[in-house]
Amino acid sequence: MTLKIFDPIEAKDQAFLLASHLPKGKYWEKAFDLDDDFGKLFLALAMEFYRFQLLEKELIIESGIRTTDKKLEEWEKSVGIPDGIFLTNVSNEQRKKQAELRFAKYNGAQTKEDYIRIANFFGFDIAVFNGSEASGLSGVTMPAEYYTNDKEIKHTVFIQLLTLISGSSFFPLSFPIVFTSSFSFLKRIFDSISPVNVNIIIFT
**pLDDT at position 25:** 81
Q: Is residue 1 part of a domain?
A: no
Q: Which pLDDT belongs to residue 142?
A: 46
* Domain shared by 52 and 78, yes or no: no
pLDDT at 177: 46
Q: What's the whole-number mean pLDDT along residues 12-19? A: 84
9 — phi, psi (to 5°)? Answer: -100, 125
Do 96 and 124 have their domain in common?
Answer: no
Among 14, 36, 18, which Cα is nearest to 26's?
A: 36
In a domain, 6, yes or no: no
pLDDT category at 103 given cuts 50, 70, 90 is confident
Report the mean per-residue pLDDT for the chain: 75
| Average pLDDT of the segment spanning 137-150 | 48
Instruction: Identify whether residues 114 and 95 lie together within a single domain.
Output: no
Please state, in angstroms and as integers, the Cα–Cα distance from residue 120 to each residue in 35, 50, 99, 116, 145, following that order. Answer: 61, 42, 16, 6, 29
Could you tell me the CA-to-CA distances from 27 to 12, 14, 33, 104 in Å, in that order? Answer: 20, 20, 11, 55
User: In terms of residue numbers, what domain contains 72?
Assistant: 67-107
168 and 91 inside one domain: no
Q: In what side-by-side order are the strands of the sheet with 125-130?
A: 125-130, 156-163, 199-203
**CA–CA separation, 181 and 164 (whole Å):** 10
- What is the distance between the alpha carbons of residues 106 and 112, in angstroms, rounded to a whole number? 17
Number of domains, the chain = 3
Question: What confidence tens digit (pLDDT) does each residue in 63-101 have?
Answer: 888 888 889 999 899 888 888 777 888 888 888 888 887
pTM of the predicted model, to two decimals?
A: 0.48
Rounded CA separation 161/125 (Å): 6
Are 84 and 115 in a shared domain? no
In a domain, 3, yes or no: no
- Among residues 107, 128, 160, the one where a domain terminates is 107
